[in-house]
Amino acid sequence: MTRKAIATFGLLLAAAAGVSAQEQVLNLYSARHYSTDEALYSNFTKATGIKINRVDADDAGILARLKAEGAASPADVILLVDAARLYRGEVDGLFKPIKSKALEEAIPAQYRGKATAEGTPWFGFSTRARVVAYDKLKVKREDVDTYEELADAKNKGKICIRSGSHPYNLSLFGAVTEHLGEQKAEMWLKGLQANLARDPKGGDTDQIKAVGAGECQIAVSNSYYIARLMRSSNPDDKALMEKVGVVFPNQNSWGTHLNIAGGAVARNAKNTDNAVKFLEYLASPEAQNYFANGNNEWPTAKGVKVSNPALQAISGGGDFKAETIPLTAVGANTVKVQQMLDRVGFK
């Protein structure tokens, strides 16, 4: 073999090795900042040999980065923790629709993006309920067992909530808008704003602690923050949760609002096959159990049963009525909701 032929053969081998290496890599942009997810990633790598390179940021930061990077983006998979953000990524064309029989069979339709001839743009892998926490000594449970009652004058000056523009609240308010219609939803937001005990500030855990401290009597929170406090070994957290009751609203009407954490293949993914494998893995019973027990979330995959004492305790045994409206509709309402918030002066 001539030197030229040897050199050419060497280049071919290097190119082949580069393709092989590329096939064994997955570039992940994740808004999930939960230490328990590390087991998900390591187990996926052990099972497939695919190495995960991860970039962590919040939802808004990830979407902004994808837009800025454009076709040069190295991202293969995007993980976000809110329906409104998933919807925004879909509308902005940042996701690559995919066809996967495994995902379509595992994930119910209301927990997916809108399917087209190209495929489905995103899939939800876990849910969290938007619930009401209340001071058991000062508030009657029946006065806070619907979202509508949060705007009732009987609860004036009692409510703590984080910013209305936070994605968790935008999604809740988007769901209420879907149920009530725009006109009634805006009146509801005005009533809710009038019932605040203080200006919105802090995160969900801060709202619950404010109830315990007597700063307010009612708070709105995602369920996993409450479950986290219940599972805590900190004496202060245990004392707090003895004072606080939890309601899953609207059990006699449309059901409690669920938000979602989900994933998508990036529009300019270079490792699409690996990306689809990863999303399919997240729908597996093993991964779904990590979601449920690691961060106190409910799995979305059909037929997956989990045992999480904290979730069972706050939901009365684990069974509660959840709303069934498509989360794409919730996301589509968030622009209207932000405009309503501005009009009623909800910070």
**DSSP of 248-274, one letter per residue?**
---TTTT-B-EEEEEEEEBTT-S-HHH
* Three-class secondary structure of residue 283 per DSSP: coil
Is pLDDT above 50 for 21?
no
Task: List Cα–Cα distances, 111 to 57, 75, 127, 137, 295, in angstroms.
Answer: 23, 23, 9, 37, 19
- The CA distance from 132 to 207, in Å, is 10
Confidence at residue 318, expressed as pLDDT on a 0 to 100 scale: 65
- The CA distance from 320 to 96, in Å, is 34
Residue 131's DSSP bridge partners are 221
132-173 tens-digit pLDDT: 999 999 999 999 999 999 999 999 999 999 999 999 999 999
198-239 tens-digit pLDDT: 999 999 999 999 999 999 999 999 999 999 999 899 999 999
Question: If we measure between CA atoms, which residue out of 297, 162, 287 comes closest to residue 226?
Answer: 297
**pLDDT tier at 11, thresholds 50, 70, 90:** very low
Q: Angle 109-110-112 (CA atoms, 0-180°, nearest 5)?
A: 65
DSSP state, residue 236: H
Rounded to two decimals, the pTM is 0.86
Give the mean pLDDT of 85-94.
Answer: 93
Confidence at residue 77, expressed as pLDDT on a 0 to 100 scale: 98
Confidence at residue 240, expressed as pLDDT on a 0 to 100 scale: 96
Confidence at residue 142, expressed as pLDDT on a 0 to 100 scale: 97
